[in-house]
Amino acid sequence: MSGILFLIPIALFMGLLGLGAFIWAVRSGQFDDPIGSANRILIDEDEPL
């Protein structure tokens, strides 16, 4: 029983972390061009890493 006292807050905290990352991604425009993003991974960079 005492376990859920810290397990629930931890679960919620991790959930919030994910939500925060999602909000950041939306705000920084990462969902503005889904077609472009899907295509950009196919472009080969000429320069060697």
Partner 1 sequence: MSSSDVLAHTRDWSLGDAPDQDSPFGGLSAFVQKSGKAQHLELHVSGAKCAGCLAKIEKSVGALDGVSEARLNLSTGKFNVTWQGSLPASVIAETVSGLGYGISAAAETDADEVQRKEERELLLAMGVAAFAAANIMLLSVSVWAGAGEMGSNTKQIMHAISGVIALPAVVFSGRPFFRSAWSVLKRGRANMDVPISLAIILAFAVSVVETIRGGEHAYFDAAAMLIFFLLIGRFLEARVRRRACSAANDLAGMSSRAVTRIDCDGNAIKVNPGVVAPGDTILLAQGERAVVDMALSDEFCELDESLVTGESAPHLLSKGMRIYAGAVNLSGPVQAKALSRASDSLLADISRMLDAGEQRRSAYRKIADKAVALYVPFVHSAAALTFIGWMLAGASFRESILIAVSTLIITCPCALALAAPVAHVVAAGKLFQLGIFLKSGDALERFASVDRIVLDKTGTLSLGVPQLSDATDERTISDAALLARSSRHPLSRAISDAAGSGPIASNVQEIPGCGLEATVDGVLWRLGSGRWIGVNRGETHTRNLYLQRGDETPVALEFADRLIPGTEDAIRQLEKAGYETEILSGDSNERVSEVAKELGVSRYTSAASPRDKAAHLEVLREQGHKVLMVGDGLNDAGALSLAHASVTPGTAIDISQAASDAVYSGGITSLPVLLKLARRTRSVMLENFTFAALYNLVAIPIAVTGHATPLVAALAMSFSSVAVSLNAIRLAAFSEGK
**Interacting residues with partner 1 (CB under 8 A):** 1, 8, 11-12, 15-16, 18-19, 22-23, 26, 31-36, 39-43
Identity of the residue, 27 or 49, whose beta carbon is nearer to partner 1 in the bound complex = 27
**DSSP tag of 29:** T
CB of 43 to partner 1, least distance (A): 5
Greatest Cα pair distance, the chain, in angstroms, is 58
- Interior CA angle at 20 toward 18 and 24, to 5°? 120
CB of 6 to partner 1, least distance (A): 13
